[in-house]
A = this chain, B = another copy of it.
């Protein structure tokens, strides 16, 4: 689900496809190494479903190397300005750069995906969800962590049942993977403890 990742980035600023990919690779490269063959179809998809809108931005923005296409905070007027400039100066606009903005529908979808909506159990989805967990309510965050923990514990149990007649290499791979899951679980434990701590102190000491 890279819809989640895209919406998460758009939640902070408007971006175009190329920038989205760069940000993902730069910040979450180990977690989500996405290709254009995924990004652009995903954006089209999201646009079709109304979660984002594309503004044909030919914006004469600062052409610096790190030029973030984020418009000034006056969002509506910015949008109009872009449209107007597009209308008035036709041809240029560096080959139809499409800047995407998240909509209200998109924010709802994001919240739903984040909370575990179209729940896919793979590590990447979870990692992505957790990476955007600051957009989640504290108790939802805790629920996410605990759901993940329960899943991993179950998986580990199933794996332990049938550790069978494997040769050295296969056994080593399986053992290493299992160790990795155990490590994930104890990592989750520290996160869960920290969350609980936050909840408790927020509850008992509302004033600092």
Q: Is A158 an interface residue (CB 8 A)?
A: yes
A164 closest partner in B (C-beta): B27
Contact B183 A183 (CB under 8 A): yes
A164 and B27 CA atoms in complex are apart in Å by 7
Binds B, one of A40-48, A174-182, A199-207: A174-182
Contact A30 B155 (CB under 8 A): yes
Q: Is A130 an interface residue (CB 8 A)?
A: yes
Given A174-B31, A177-B31, A187-B176: A132 in contact with B169 (beta carbons within 8 A):
yes
Given A180-B183, A191-B172: A162 in contact with B26 (beta carbons within 8 A):
yes
Contact A170 B29 (CB under 8 A): no
A177 and B181 CA atoms in complex are apart in Å by 12
Residues of B within 8 A of A134 (CB): 167-169
Contact residues of A between 58 and 95, Cβ < 8 Å to B: none
Contact A130 B173 (CB under 8 A): yes
Contact A162 B130 (CB under 8 A): no
User: Which size bracket describes the interface of A in this complex?
Assistant: 20 to 34
Q: Is A133 an interface residue (CB 8 A)?
A: yes
Contact B169 A29 (CB under 8 A): no
A5 and B177 CA atoms in complex are apart in Å by 17
A30 closest partner in B (C-beta): B177
Contact A131 B162 (CB under 8 A): no
Q: Is A28 an interface residue (CB 8 A)?
A: yes
Complex partner residue of A166 from B27, B169, B180, B183, CB under 8 angstroms: B27
CB distance from A147 to the nearest CB of B (A): 16
Query: Which residues of A are interface residues toward B (Cβ below 8 A)?
Result: 26-31, 127, 130-134, 155, 158-159, 162, 164, 166-170, 172-174, 176-178, 180-181, 183-184, 187, 191
